[in-house]
Amino acid sequence: MTRSLRDKTLFITGASRGIGLAIAKRAARDGANVAIAAKSVTENPKIPGTIFTAAAEIEAEGGKALALPCDIRFDEQVANALDRTVSTFGGVDILINNASAIDLRGVDLLEMKRFDLMHQINARGTYLCAKLALPHLRKSENPHILTLSPPLDMNPKWFAPNLAYTMAKYGMSLVTLGLAENLAREGVAANSLWPETAIATAAVGNLLGGDEIIKRARKPDIVADAAHAILTRPSRECTGNFFIDVRVLAQEGVTDFAAYSVDPGHEAVLDFFLEEPISANVRKSAFHGGR
């Protein structure tokens, strides 16, 4: 098996921008086919990028792209998007569950409609996409499901400040946990991947601290390179893992992560689902109680 995604078909949810787009572009540089399943069909000044601009970027990197308007809350839309992917590219080799909704308000302030939205997109959407993609993945030589969700940890501190969001993200991780065990004999890999630090995306900038947090973030490329390393491993030998990006890259021989820094002059901020920094020049956030 070569360490390339050439001619592989990836179905990526939420790939119009951010980490999803970075994973798509990394695959495109190998000559992969990428189906972009996302809601963004018109430009939003606060969150730039659409499925059509993403498709253009993917094709500029050497891949083939299919822009699919798709809201993963709705079964029929996901089924239709997968059908179009198969009819265009001949199958599906990889499912990337990247689409996610975030709202960090606590129980007193969060409206139930926002609670429902996060669970519909994060937990249910991940489950639905896996369910509908499985018949196609089973036909692939090296099938992978990769979900962008954190490692599971039942320490109450991860739940207390933003209970609804943690429940929804952990719901995605539970899909990985269950599918990995369920599909092991069939050779369909199911893994989760999570960044060590804040990642410079529009969502992080808009919701978690603006320009200041972006300066202390890493580029989405670090997650994309880690995803590429996972997806090019044999699926029968790589399943049931809750990967952290820097640990994956260290396994590939990459231990200097300075090139991924948005601003190398600032320490990166540790993601709030992780207990301690893993690599150099990473500091805890206020959520962790400082250093």
> Which residue in 57, 74, 75 sits closest to 65, CA to CA?
57
Contacts of 31 (CB under 8 A, 6+ apart): 4, 5, 6, 7, 62, 63
165 is an active site residue: yes
Of the residues 127, 165, 170, 260, only one is catalytic, namely: 165
How far is the C-alpha of 239 from the C-alpha of 284, rounded, in Å?
29
DSSP3 helix / strand / coil % (the chain, rounded to 5): 45, 15, 40
> Which residue in 201, 265, 264, 189 sits closest to 227, CA to CA?
189
Q: Within 10 Å of residue 177's Cβ, how many Cβ atoms?
A: 15
Give buried/exposed letters for 111-143 (b at 16+ CB in 10 A, else e).
eeebbebbbbbbbbbbbbbbebbbebbeebebb
Active-site residue numbers?
165
